[in-house]
Amino acid sequence: MKKNKFLIIIPLLVIIFSFFITGIKNSDIVENMEIVAGLGSDVEYKTPGSVSYSIPLSTYIFRGISGDDENVKVSSTVRKGVGKTLGQTRENRQSKADKKTILGFEKVYIVSESSAAYGLEPIVDILFKNPQLNDTGYFAICRGKAEDMLSHKVEGYPSSSDFIEGLLKNEFNYSFFPKNIKITDLYTSLYVEGTNPVVPYIETNGDNIEVSGMALFKNGKMVAKSNFDDSKWLNLMRDNKVCGIVSLQKDSRNYADLYANSFRKVNVDKIHGKLHFTINLKLKGSVITNTYFKDISKNESAKRAFEEKIGEKVHRNCCSVINKMKTEYKTDCLGLGKYAAAKYGRWSNVDWDKEVLDSSIDVNVKVSIENWGRGSFEKNSREQ
């Protein structure tokens, strides 16, 4: 009886084992797969109506230095796949590559300007459907071709994607740049009622890669780009808890800089059937440098005058950006629509973009200085 039991169990186990272990597809050991550092998206217009997609991937290459077993040099190369649909680009790319690619480590997603103008929907759809995708990768639009951006050599990094990741990750420290520029944030703002995505815009400048503004979208297509200065005020009005520098300048020698943290609150009302938005901004900051105003740290009224002047400057700049939004960009890039949707009902077939562009937008700015630094090197009045 015991002997029979084992005669049955062991072959059964072997059969079960082989049943499960055979037929495994789509997977290989990690060192045999191509690791993707950055994903790009380009379109080429074949005829005015149709495009062919091109997806370049920046992948790591491990090259052992001869004679030295310990160190392996890591560098990168760009593999491009071209096709009529995004799925076909995968096929095309595999025919030129020696390993299968795995997604999941991408640090950045770079979409070229022409591709963004053509429409984000195909790219975001294929990325969203793929469950392996890295949801914490940064999303940016680039000038020119994404392929060039990805193959741009940056010193000290195996791939330019690493550099761009650091670039976008740390940009929030200044220029009122938003922190939510990952691809998850794109999912929550694309085709969502009341908002349009606003994405960082990067370009190469000689040897450097730099952020040069924000790309503005409407209905999933890129319609405008705001330059660096305008983006500052745009971001200030769009996001909460961002920081940046506001300066008052008389001439090249006399100016004051304030590093401010912003708090934003939006109120929405209906006046005569039209929407009315009030953006309340509160800036709290520390004075970085001051060679313009005298005695603001000692004199209460001077301090208040300074704060008011800064408030006026911010107000002026914001209003000009709002004007630009209504006349030039023609899209709701401040994210005001969702406040209206929150108050007046969702999924009600109202075109919030149009409503926001027709609405009146007020900006109230309050500034307060919290920190003066170590001391002040300004000239004393006596020494004049």
Partner 1 sequence: MDDFNMNDNIQKIVDGLGNTDTVIKRYFEIGSKLPVQAVLLYVDSLADRESINLNILKPLMLQVKGDLCLSADICDIICKKYITSSSTSVENDANKAIFAMKRGNTVLIIEQVDEFIVIDTKDGKYRQISEPLNEYSVRGSREGFVENLETNVSMIRRMVKHQDLTIENFTLGKYTQTDIKLMYVDSIADESVMEKIRDRLSSIDVDSITGAGIIEQYIEGHPYSLFPQCFATERPDIVINDLLEGRAAILCQGTPYALVVPALFIEFFQAVEDYYERSILSSMIRILRLLAVILVITLPAAYLSFIKFNSELIPVKFLLPLVSTRQGLLLTPLIEILCMEMIVEFLREGGLRLPGKIGQTLSLVGGFIIGDAALRAKLVSPATLVVVGTAVIGTFVIPNYDMSLSIRIARFPMIILADIFGIVGIAAGWYLILLHLFSMDTFGVQYLSLKKNDLKDIFIRGQLWNMDKRPESMPNKNKIRMGNSMKKFRGRH
Partner 2 sequence: MQNSSESKITSYQLLCILTGTAIGIGLMDLPNQVTEIAKQNGWVSVIIGGIYPLYIVYIADILQNKFPDENILQLSRKFLGKVFGNLLNLLFMFNFILYTTTVASGLTILLSTFIMYFMSPIKLLVFIVSLGAISSYSGLRPLANINELIFVFTIVVALIPLVALGRGKLLNVLPLFDSSVESLFKASVESCFSYGGIEIIFLFYPLVSDREKFKSYMLKGVLFLIILYSSLTFLTIYYCGIDLIKKSFWSILIATKSIEIPIINNFRFIFMFLWSIVNFKTISNSYFASVFILKDMFKKLSIKKLSVILFPFIVLMSSNYINEEARRTFLKFIVPKYTLFNIVFLTVICLIGLLKKDGLNEEK
The stretch near partner 2 (CB under 8 A) out of 58-66, 128-136, 215-223, 310-318 is 128-136
The most distant pair of C-alpha atoms in the chain lies apart, rounded to whole Å, by 111
CB of 102 to partner 1, least distance (A): 5
SS3 label, residue 296:
coil
CB of 161 to partner 1, least distance (A): 12
Which of the residues 307 through 336 are near partner 1 (CB under 8 A)? none
Contact in structure between 247 and 257 (CB atoms under 8 Å): yes
Choose between 1 and 29: whose C-beta lies nearer to partner 1: 29
| Residue of the chain from 6, 25, 31, 206 that contacts partner 1 (CB under 8 A) | 31
Strand partners, 267: 278
Is residue 27 at the binding interface for partner 1, with CB under 8 A as the rule?
Answer: yes
Burial 67-101 (b: 16+ CB within 10 A, else e): eeeeeeeeebebbbbbbeebeebeebbeeeeeeeb
Tokens matching residue 189 = 């703002």
Nearest to 364 by CA among 289, 283, 250: 283
The stretch near partner 1 (CB under 8 A) out of 99-107, 170-178, 205-213, 289-297 is 99-107
User: Binding string to partner 2 for residues 329 to 368, with x set by CB under 8 A, is what?
Assistant: ---------xx--xxxxxx---------------------
Choose between 81 and 335: whose C-beta lies nearer to partner 2: 335
Is residue 98 at the binding interface for partner 1, with CB under 8 A as the rule?
Answer: no
What Cα–Cα distance (Å) separates residue 98 from each residue in 69, 101, 320?
23, 9, 53
Is residue 15 at the binding interface for partner 1, with CB under 8 A as the rule?
Answer: no
Is residue 1 at the binding interface for partner 1, with CB under 8 A as the rule?
Answer: no
Contact in structure between 184 and 122 (CB atoms under 8 Å): no
Tokens matching residue 258 = 């304030």
Contact in structure between 151 and 80 (CB atoms under 8 Å): no
| Residue of the chain from 75, 85, 170, 188 that contacts partner 2 (CB under 8 A) | 188
Choose between 16 and 305: whose C-beta lies nearer to partner 1: 16
Strands (E), 206-273: 208-218, 221-226, 243-249, 255-271
| Residue of the chain from 3, 4, 6, 21 that contacts partner 1 (CB under 8 A) | 21
The stretch near partner 2 (CB under 8 A) out of 15-23, 114-122, 162-170, 300-308 is 15-23
Which of the residues 111 through 170 are near partner 1 (CB under 8 A)? 132, 134, 158
CB atoms near residue 128 (< 10 Å):
14
Report the side by side order of strands in the sheet with 274-290.
Answer: 243-249, 255-271, 274-290, 360-371
CB of 165 to partner 2, least distance (A): 14
Is residue 227 at the binding interface for partner 2, with CB under 8 A as the rule?
Answer: no
Is residue 267 at the binding interface for partner 2, with CB under 8 A as the rule?
Answer: no
CB of 332 to partner 1, least distance (A): 35
| Chain centroid to CA 205 | 19
| Residue of the chain from 88, 90, 97, 104 that contacts partner 1 (CB under 8 A) | 104
Integer-rounded Cα Rg, in Å, for the chain is: 27
Q: What's the rounded Cα separation, in Å, for the pair 88 and 126? A: 12
What Cα–Cα distance (Å) separates residue 45 from each residue in 49, 120, 216?
8, 16, 22
CB of 133 to partner 1, least distance (A): 8
Question: What is the DSSP secondary-structure string of 165-184?
Answer: HHHHHHGGGSTT--S--BHH
Strand partners, 258: 246, 287
Judged by CB under 8 A, how many residues of this single chain contact partner 2? 29
Which of the residues 24 through 53 are near partner 2 (CB under 8 A)? 24-27
Residue 62 interacts with which of partner 2, partner 1, none, CB < 5 to 8 Å by class: partner 1
Contact in structure between 267 and 278 (CB atoms under 8 Å): yes
Q: What's the rounded Cα separation, in Å, for the pair 47 and 273? A: 45
Is residue 86 at the binding interface for partner 1, with CB under 8 A as the rule?
Answer: no
Residues within the interface to partner 1 (CB under 8 A)? 17, 20-21, 27, 29-31, 33, 35, 60, 62, 64, 69, 72, 74, 102-105, 107, 132, 134, 158
The residues binding partner 2 (CB under 8 A) are: 19-20, 23-27, 104-105, 128, 131-132, 134-136, 184, 187-188, 191-193, 338-339, 342-347
